[in-house]
Amino acid sequence: MTTSSLGKIAVVGSGAVGCYYGGMLAEIGADVHFLMRADLAAVRAGGLTIRTQGKTVHRQVQAHATTAEIGPCDLVIVALKTTANASLDELIPPLLHERTAIVTLQNGLGNEEYLATRWGAERVLGALCFVCLNRTAPGEIVHLDHGTISIGEFGRGLSPRLEALAAALQRAGIEAHPVPNLVTERWRKLVWNIPFNGLAIAAGGATVADVLADPVLRAEARTLMSDVLDGARRLGHEISDEFADFQIERSASMGPYRPSSMIDWQERRPVEIEAIWGEPLRQGQAAGAAMPRLSLLYALLQRLTHTDLLKP
């Protein structure tokens, strides 16, 4: 299938993740429209720049102030943080026609369910992005490492629209995989997100390199992964211990990468506490997993982020 078969695409949440995946699709000719707020004037004037794997992608893109300006689309990519989900009730409806698909790139658990209850499960897909990205200036994204994305249907197996989206991302130079079980992939992503995003905050601003270099933090990261594996397995998602070890080892190439939750915390923005730590803990414990280290980390993060946001 060609890129044009994706039809008109809207990116809702044009931060580092939304701009990277949307920008790479635009680079191969997809009809991509970006909802932008803070970066709108800069991108309209100077375009979008993505520095990736030794090359620079720069192009003028279709940037809009409202979803009403964008209008109905064939595919909506949701890349907002889960802390902004309440705004989707206003943002999504102008983008829909009767066959519009919605794919969420958000972290954690519960995202597809949130969309499905509002706009129908038949529309919803989810994607898990394992990628190191930073927004370094208005309209400028730096791709530091990795880039894999796994995409699945919500509550369904493989489909033509899923395979078309994965194929388009592959043509854009992104390692994209259509997957038959989206929820299992969400738990696989949590194996990394829970320890590295969480310890980055709990340790006062530790980068990935800091966590790996400190024997105590590295051991804690692996123990947290074991908690996640236990919860996942009790819910029917078989993920091997070797996968957790692989995540530790592959993280070495990230260097002093600042996980996105740590950046939100340092810049005094809301952190995705419930989606990334709270909901996996609740689901795992309901299935019989103790998850003691995750329970402690969740409590610490609740306190740290709440206290920080209350400071003048």
Would you name the residues annotated as active-site residues? Answer: 189
Q: Which residue is listed with tokens 């983008």?
A: 95
DSSP H/E element including 227: helix 215-234
Buried b (16+ CB within 10 A) or exposed e, 112-131: bebbbeebeeebbbbbbbbb
Cα separation, 246 vs 252, whole angstroms:
10
Q: Which residue is listed with tokens 């991108």?
A: 43
DSSP-assigned beta bridge partners for residue 148: 130
Note the maximum CA span of the chain: 54
Interacting residues of 29 by C-beta distance below 8 A, sequence separation 6+: 3, 4
